[in-house]
Structure 1
Amino acid sequence: MTQLERQDAERFAALTLANLTRRWPWKPGHVAYGPEDLMPPDALHPAFYGSYDWHSCVHGWWQVLHLLRRVPDLEQAGAIASLADRTLTADAIAGEIAMFDRAGAATFERPYGWAWLLALHGEARCHSERRWAATLAPLADLLAKRMAAYLTRLSHPLRQGAHGNSAFAMLLAHHWAKRGNEALAQTIETRAADWFGADRDCQAWEPDGDAFLSPALIEAALMARLLPVSQFTDWFDGFLPRSGDREPRTLFVPVTPPDRDDAKMVHLDGLNLSRAWCWRLIGDTLPPGHATIHVAREAAASHLSQSLPHLADSYMGSHWLATFALLALGGEA
């Protein structure tokens, strides 16, 4: 499996830094109740106004802070730290909280953006010499409470290949919650056991034509994070019992977007990258000698190579794909 190279880190950072302060084009995701809700992006979102939409800006920030930590002498290190000092301020985060407190904002960015904000806060906590984590903490606390309430109320998991996917949000949120919010961690563990614990012989009827997540593999990645190795191995052998033979075949075959200028179709590049991430997590979790390890690592490499050269082909991909490339190359959110 390819590891993160310095040239990739600098390419990812350059792509994302250019977008974090890019206001247009902008895709707002909130409900407008009056003209006061139709302000420019940086007026509604003082911190996370760039990168086309709110969640892409948030996980773009996660990406550059993660790169800053992993490659401290990164060419863009000074620019990242300086921009973070100017942007991730107490006033800006108070403005973001005010947006979430608006009428009609109860479902804004639920659950995908919420989970990425928790991942960003978790990454910021790793930069102890900076104040970024402290300023992000009130928003993280708010969205953690909303996440717990949402998962408690939700009757069935969302098994889709896009932003609503429950397992993806739970995966990111649990990683954050294990460092200080045991109640949310327990909620996620209980929900995962209830929703996914008995899943067997997954047929993997995927991908959707505009998916960027594999419902099957993101569920398996979640369970790999939550379960002890022996329990995960038993669960995985029941969930994908023919994986060692590369079945279901759909999970092992990379896809090609028919139009990378199409905001939805380019999601398929994200699918390749997120599948590479999931296969890496699965292969790294299974015990030595398991029949799936080799094919998991092969699948991770083939999916990564299919889309890694295309991160900057179109703005519809360049504003977000580098985050998933970083996950595929060993980033942990």
Structure 2
Amino acid sequence: MKNILPVLLLVFVLGCKGEDRLKSENGNSSQDSAAGSVLSIDALLSEDRVEMNLEEANKLANLPLACLNTQYPNKLGQTLGSEKDLLSPIDLHPAFYGCFDWHSSVHAHWSLVRLLKRYPKLEKASEIKEKLESSLTKENIAKEMEYFSKEHNLDYERTYGWAWLLKLSEELYTWDTDMGAELSANIKPLADLIEQRFADFLPKLNYPIRVGEHTNTAFALSFAYDYAVVTENEEFRALIEKRARDFYLTDKECPITWEPSGFDFLSPCLEEIDIMRKVIPKAAFSLWLDKFMPQLKKPDFALVPGEVSDRKDGKLVHLDGLNFSRARVFYGLMNQYPNDFAHLRKLGDQHVNHSFSNLVDDSYEGGHWLGSFAIYALEESKKAR
């Protein structure tokens, strides 16, 4: 019954809006009129594909390794309760003090775990294991929990850092080794705390946050949903499904041609699609997409990658992250519904190719975090190979 209700609702909501769908199918969508926003299929086909393999994994592993224990520069993003809170990053966050900010440190750890699991013969496998064991101790995680539990830190890293912490916990949970089991057990209390933060916050959020940066609600819901599924937490999964439907089920005509904004590393339109493909069944999702972004179904759908003008500007370099996160969504759709979205592979490849060459020897502004986004996109791409 649960799976039928979204379909019935969508039929009711979408069925009386047929003229808008016809308008889009007749080529009058706003995307068609946006100058410079469409590339030819020939251009897409001419792109070479970046392959995720041991060689590339070795290069990508160097990015988090280079920053994991780099304490400064550091953006703490904290609210001071008193002068007692004026401590160094490593004293405040003994597990996640490197890589410029807390959330980047978390997904740097995720990157190393993911790469080590997929490529156990990494050149620096021993160094990676040593770093993971050194940072993800019970004592360090307890100190992180202490920080989160202080009066002024209840919303710390809401919701982007929360989402990445659950993604790291998910990665450790599925690492079938003694080390994986140990580190998973170490981090579980913090994951439980973050899960509770989500459970407390989501019912109070009356409106989703539709931006291209850290506070994007759809991105957080998508990562949290994956964690709930893998850990078989049905109550948490049900909450995420409910809030995603509450927020997005009646959305329509997402203005993809307004994207990107200058500091985006997430696509508001595509992140919403990513969570909705997970929480409603295929028929309902297809109907929903017809109203939300029907042009995505067209074989000639195209989207120009974001252009970075200054790689030393930490905000402007976000656009490389946008290219990787767009590709992740394209590949995810293709993997779930290959008969409907196979054409998105070339578009995903184009976005990855556009930014991938920037990763090696990149400035710290990009190098401390972009590798995680590239790894995730490439791993999604590889699933369908």
User: Scaled by the length of structure 2, what TM-score is found?
Assistant: 0.82
The within-5 A match list for 1:254-273 is 254-273=305-324
Give yes or no for contact 2:274–2:329 (8 Å, CA) kept in 1: yes
Partner of 1:94: 142
Instruction: Measure how far apart 1:246 and its partner are.
Output: 7.2
77-86 vs 108-117, greater mean Cα deviation: 77-86
Partner of 2:376: 327
The one-letter code of the counterpart of 2:252 is R
Partner of 1:203: 255
SS of residue paired to 1:57: helix
Identity of aligned residues (%): 40
Instruction: Measure how far apart 1:287 and its partner are.
Output: 4.8
Question: How many angstroms apart in 1 are the aligned matches of 2:352 and 2:185?
Answer: 35
The one-letter code of the counterpart of 1:328 is A
The one-letter code of the counterpart of 1:243 is L
1:105 is aligned to 2:158: no
Question: How many angstroms apart in 1 are the aligned matches of 2:305 and 2:126?
Answer: 36
SS of residue paired to 2:168: helix
Structure 1 unaligned residues grouped into runs of 5+: none
Q: What CA deviation, in whole Å up to 9, does each residue of 1:104-163 have, x standing for no partner?
A: 101110000011101111111122412000000000000100011111110100010000
The within-5 A match list for 1:47-196 is 47-128=95-176, 129-130=178-179, 131-178=182-229, 179-196=231-248
The partner residue of 2:289 within 236, 255, 267 is: 236
The one-letter code of the counterpart of 1:194 is D
Q: What CA deviation, in whole Å up to 9, does each residue of 1:156-212 have, x standing for no partner?
A: 000100000000000111111121322211111001111111222222221110010
Instruction: Measure how far apart 1:222 and its partner are.
Output: 1.1
Give yes or no for contact 1:66–1:331 (8 Å, CA) kept in 2: no
Give yes or no for contact 2:212–2:264 (8 Å, CA) kept in 1: yes
Question: How many angstroms apart in 1 are the aligned matches of 2:297 and 2:279?
Answer: 22
Instruction: Measure how far apart 1:235 and its partner are.
Output: 2.2
Give yes or no for contact 1:257–1:269 (8 Å, CA) kept in 2: yes
Instruction: Measure how far apart 1:7 and its partner are.
Output: 1.7
Structure 2 unaligned residues grouped into runs of 5+: 1-48
Q: Which is bigger in relative contact order (C-alpha 8 A, separation at least 6)?
A: 2
Partner of 1:309: 357
User: Scaled by the length of structure 1, what TM-score is found?
Assistant: 0.94
Question: How many angstroms apart in 2 are the aligned matches of 1:245 and 1:232?
Answer: 16
Question: How many angstroms apart in 1 are the aligned matches of 2:70 and 2:114?
Answer: 20
Aligned residues: 327
Partner of 2:64: 16
Give yes or no for contact 1:23–1:49 (8 Å, CA) kept in 2: yes
Give yes or no for contact 1:263–1:317 (8 Å, CA) kept in 2: yes
Give yes or no for contact 2:332–2:380 (8 Å, CA) kept in 1: no
Q: What CA deviation, in whole Å up to 9, does each residue of 1:10-40 have, x standing for no partner?
A: 1111111111111011000110122211111
Give yes or no for contact 2:90–2:97 (8 Å, CA) kept in 1: yes
The partner residue of 2:77 within 14, 29, 32 is: 29
Instruction: Measure how far apart 1:72 and its partner are.
Output: 1.1
Give yes or no for contact 2:50–2:353 (8 Å, CA) kept in 1: no
